[in-house]
Structure 1
Amino acid sequence: MTLAFLAAWLVPASVKAHSSEGPAFAPTCHATSGLDTTFERMVNSERWVCSDSDWRASDPVAWLKFDKATWDDDALPRFFYTRTARHSAIAIAALDADGTMRVEHYRENDGDPIAAGPKFTLDLPEIREETRAVLVRIERPHSIPLLTEARVSFDKSATGWSQRDMMLLALVLGMLVLPLLFDISFFVVLREKFVVLHAVLVIAMMIYVLSAGGLITVFVDLPVSALAIIAPLIWAIGMGIVLLFFAAFVEPGAQSPLMRRATIAIAWWTLLVPTFLSLQFHATQPFDDQGYFLAFVPAMIMIPLAVAQALWRGSMAARFIAVAWLPMIVAGFERFARGTGLYTGPSTLDQMLYFATAFEVIVISLAIAHRFLVLRRERDAALTEAETLERLSERDPLTGLMNRRAVLSRFEGLRDEGFDTFALIDLDKFKDVNDRFGHQVGDQALVACADAIRGGEGRDEVAVRLGGEEFVVLLRGSETLTRAEALRQGIAIRIARDVEGLDRVVTASMGVVEIPRDFNAMMDFDDLYARADKLLYEAKATGRNRTTYERLKVFRTPPAARPNLTGAEAA
């Protein structure tokens, strides 16, 4: 918004005083001809069309005639002005009653752009009381509004838009700044392609409003030839981006595959064909004006069709887009009709398009905000579901204990947290339980075993089911061997209490490895499992229902100086 008011403030006072209602006079007749036609031949030519119809910008030369009857002797015209558009040259002749003719010749970039509307001015030859007409010869015109909006005036301040019009234009420009900031903020959080496309669209519309409204000349000194290209070029790019944005923004399934491909194809057509024609090369002058507007016809057909299908399929995004694009479509059709010469009107009608553009950008920004909230909810739900599935995938479905996958992924962190005792537990003669009492009873025994060793889980013990009747308990703190032995002995008691139908005691054997804290990094899960498994095998081999343990030590003396080890300690 600050930029908008700065632009309005920087417009010179003389420009601010412009009024489209001032003493400006329209041409009384118009005509076209070849390049070899001179002023002398056109004076009494029968080619003149003295009505507001049959305007053409496809012939090599366009002619305008301003008869004296349109101005007062007390206010002789001194300036010619018209819409900024490409041409190769303009010659202006003042024709006196006695046939005398004074001619001024101008090249394309001799025009003086003004910052109050998309217009430029040229000085007329000396206009006298005996001057009966002003003839204007425009060579290779590229735009019908270049002809229909041409005027002569005695007051240069009457050539531009009013101060109110320019303030409204600056307001539109300011309205486009906030959606751009929204897009940047959204993209930081939501890395979606449609956010980038909308940001590009907003920037394009800002440049379009600046250039088409003439405000760009406040900031940058550009020739008429450049000013004439920027607005149609940016509009063509913007229309292509609109279709790409639509295809990316609507929800999956809102467009059929065929409609989506057609939308993207027409988007690229719009980005290529009208963009090329907007450059207005003099070689393409016979057709680029009409061609430029006609090249938008596929997009003008596709947009309503694509929106209608998305609405029919229940797209919430399409509802926002329908509201946003309706004023733009109406204003676009008006500009299309005026640009193709279907009717004539003042350039101030362009302000309909500027406001429609600002309205579109703001509503679409709200749509993006809504979509942002929807996608965020969907992503949060997906993350929650993924976390739930992850937790489920790391839990043994029978006992609810962590499984082998879970302990492997967390083992390094558990060691860092001080879990330095590794106890491997196996139920004794468990195959006999399954064979005699059935797998249902066997499963009940496994659940009871898990309940017996899970008691301290989450504090100083972590219980894991590796598979079958094999369990691991990781312990930390003091007296870990005593605590592990207590858990092992509690297994038989818990199974006897919780499992009905057993006529025998189900015991467990255990192999325990204790490791020093500074020894942790030297052994991984598989290393500790291998040592504990050997100890478990010894417990099984020496009668079961017992614990065999090993306490590892780190020696800091050379091997020759180490004492002989006996018993349950090893290096």
Structure 2
Amino acid sequence: MIRLCMAAVLLALSAARPAYAGAQTDAGAVPALPPAQAPTCHAATPLDRSATDLNDRAGWTCSNTDWRSNVPAVWLRFEADGWRGDEAPPRQFFSRIARFQSISFHAIDADGTVRSARHTEADAEPFASGPVFRLPLPAITDDTRLLLVRIEAPHSVPLLTEARIAQDPAAAAWPQIDLMLLAFVMGMLVLPMLFDISFFMVLRERFVVLHAAMVAAMMVYVLTAGGLASAFVTLPVALMAVLGPLSYAMGAGLSALFLIAFLERGAQSRVMRRMTFATAWFTMLVPGFFALQLDATQPFDDIGYFVTFLPYIAVISAAVLEAVLRGSRSARFITLAWLPIIIASVERLLRGLGWHVGPASLDQMIYIAVGIEVVVISLAIADRFLALRRERDAALTEARMLEQISTRDSLTGLMNRRAIEARFEELLAQGFDTFALVDLDRFKAINDLHGHQVGDAALVACASAIRATGDRDAVAVRLGGEEFVVLLRGQRTLERAEALRQAIPIRIAKEVPGLDLPVTASMGVVMLGDAGHHKMTFTEFYARADALMYEAKASGRNRLAYERLTVFGMAPERRRQEDQAA
């Protein structure tokens, strides 16, 4: 996927290259492009200053300092020394994509002739050579000694500092390695989106959605601020100028919300959590508003955008540091991911404020930092995913243990009364229509003569006898004391119940030696003819089976009493007792 994205971007970029860049001479050699020329001086003026007022060097700043965008107009001065000689005169003006009201060009010849041209923001043409746009210059001749450029209502210092003129727009293109790097970063952003989708399908956590939104914002930022969008579609300069800083503000705010959701519980104090939450929304709203670069905010939106990022940098740095000091594993990943992007953002902030001037290639720092961030955070999410999975597995294991404790008899391991009552209706619907109540005969005498330890061993042996039948169509339950219930389904349930009852004394005698007399069992059995249409509850079944069991005991113990119920009227057949000699 990454390779496909890179290939598509680079193919589009190569297709968008001007023909001059690859033209061959008659000798077959590729001519070198004339270098782009930077302005020699600049000046900030009111709107009423004209080109004739600035025809000399008075009022100009001829150094790379004192750049300001919060003024009505900025003039750039290009000297004729930059294109005289054998080099072809410039034909194009280009600069970093940013908002402005208009750009006027004044080509002044030695005899005082002035050729002027004025272009609005809508005339600017972005092209796939980085985050730049171009405008045609008026005719520059051998007699032209000066080119003055007036940029009205600029919204960005880099729009001024990175302004250039050249004979061919290919001179504005970033080096091929920079474009490949940008394409690679864009491809890297696709992979975390796929990870987030995959993780969210398994792990319905809010931080996965927030990270996906962060990545989407960074993709918009790379496409617009990096100029990659021009390789695929021609967007207005005004739209690209707004989308770049706006997506960065949105991504920064979302990253703060991601931090809150991603850190482990206890990694943030309550105060820091609230500060981080407030900073997230402040960053999306305030720098986001300045990113719109409205006409009314032109005198201060450039400075306002960068200055209002300072609280974000301070709060996020403090929040991550606090989490690291509290031992957060996730915070260590975030530190590694966000430190490069914070450093690159500070450099971009200083350059945006005009505190230092550097080439546009410095922006590669922030794109590299974005690539590092998405890779490391994706690893962090994968690590957190495994940690949460381990926690959930442990919780599920504990829940199963608690469920087993609450639904299983601790002595015998059979289901308890609570469990059978909860599942009784379901089991009846599955065909378990025979209810057999088992009670050990004279069990109190065993406890009195041999002690409760031997009595417990007899109960365990009874449960083992019930389980040892291996009957898959039988469900065994210990109700309490020496009472057991066996639910049966299928054919010959009465005969199987009797075989089970007869197996109990044998098993107890085998596993509990030293008893004076065999431990027999009495059983009461209720058989329902049509379990799918029964109207009886567990309590009603138990009451009938209990009465039958006591009837068996009254008849001499060590025997079975049963009745078969019919659906209509629940009339029982004649009760019978089957005994087994002791």
Q: TM-score, normalised by structure 2?
A: 0.88
Residues 428 and 507, structure 1, Cα contact 8 Å, conserved in 2: yes
Specify which of 32, 50, 64 is matched with residue 62 of structure 2.
Answer: 50
Amino acid at match of 1:4: M
Residues 96 and 158, structure 2, Cα contact 8 Å, conserved in 1: yes
For residues 521 and 249 of structure 2, the distance between their equivalents in structure 1, rounded to whole angstroms, comes to 79
How many residues in Structure 1 have an aligned counterpart in Structure 2? 563
Corresponding residue for residue 225 of structure 2: 212
Aligned identity (percent) is: 58
Gaps of 5+ in 2: 23-31, 577-582
Residues 112 and 121, structure 1, Cα contact 8 Å, conserved in 2: yes
For residues 329 and 219 of structure 1, the distance between their equivalents in structure 2, rounded to whole angstroms, comes to 30
For residues 382 and 311 of structure 2, the distance between their equivalents in structure 1, rounded to whole angstroms, comes to 30
Residues 169-188 of structure 1 mapped to structure 2, 5 A cutoff = 169-188=182-201
Residues 519 and 554, structure 1, Cα contact 8 Å, conserved in 2: no
Residues 395 and 401, structure 1, Cα contact 8 Å, conserved in 2: yes
Shift of the alpha carbon at 1:284? Answer: 0.6
Deviations 1:357-409 (A, max 9, x none): 11211121122222222222222222222222222221112332210122234
Corresponding residue for residue 28 of structure 2: none
Q: 1:124 to 1:141 in 2, by over 3 A?
A: same
Shift of the alpha carbon at 1:69? Answer: 2.8
Residues 23 and 155, structure 1, Cα contact 8 Å, conserved in 2: no
For residues 387 and 565 of structure 1, the distance between their equivalents in structure 2, rounded to whole angstroms, comes to 41
Corresponding residue for residue 119 of structure 1: 132
Residues 117 and 215, structure 1, Cα contact 8 Å, conserved in 2: yes
Residues 566 and 572, structure 2, Cα contact 8 Å, conserved in 1: no
Shift of the alpha carbon at 1:342? Answer: 1.1
SS across alignment from 1:24: coil
Q: 1:230 to 1:511 in 2, by over 3 A?
A: same
Corresponding residue for residue 14 of structure 1: 17
Corresponding residue for residue 297 of structure 1: 310
Residues 150-549 of structure 1 mapped to structure 2, 5 A cutoff = 150-415=163-428, 418-427=431-440, 443=456, 446-456=459-469, 459-489=472-502, 491=504, 508-516=521-529, 519=532, 523-539=536-552, 545-549=558-562
Greater alpha carbon shift after TM alignment, 546-555 vs 363-372:
546-555
For residues 479 and 80 of structure 1, the distance between their equivalents in structure 2, rounded to whole angstroms, comes to 99
For residues 15 and 409 of structure 1, the distance between their equivalents in structure 2, rounded to whole angstroms, comes to 78
Residues 440 and 522, structure 2, Cα contact 8 Å, conserved in 1: yes
Residues 18 and 116, structure 1, Cα contact 8 Å, conserved in 2: no
Residues 104 and 151, structure 2, Cα contact 8 Å, conserved in 1: yes
Deviations 1:22-73 (A, max 9, x none): 5211111111122232223333474321111011111111111112233324
SS across alignment from 2:299: helix
Deviations 1:45-104 (A, max 9, x none): 743211110111111111111122333244322221111100111111112333332221
For residues 395 and 520 of structure 1, the distance between their equivalents in structure 2, rounded to whole angstroms, comes to 29
Shift of the alpha carbon at 1:440? Answer: 6.1
1:93 aligns with 2:100: no
Amino acid at match of 2:404: R
Shift of the alpha carbon at 1:541? Answer: 5.4
Amino acid at match of 2:8: L
Corresponding residue for residue 67 of structure 1: 79
Amino acid at match of 2:406: S
Corresponding residue for residue 2 of structure 1: 4
Shift of the alpha carbon at 1:259? Answer: 2.1
For residues 326 and 21 of structure 1, the distance between their equivalents in structure 2, rounded to whole angstroms, comes to 38
Amino acid at match of 1:3: C
Specify which of 38, 41, 45 is matched with residue 33 of structure 1.
Answer: 45
SS across alignment from 1:127: coil
Residues 247 and 264, structure 1, Cα contact 8 Å, conserved in 2: yes
Gaps of 5+ in 1: none
Deviations 1:463-483 (A, max 9, x none): 211234432112345443234
Q: 1:182 to 1:493 in 2, by over 3 A?
A: closer
SS across alignment from 1:344: coil
1:568 aligns with 2:580: no
For residues 56 and 355 of structure 1, the distance between their equivalents in structure 2, rounded to whole angstroms, comes to 28
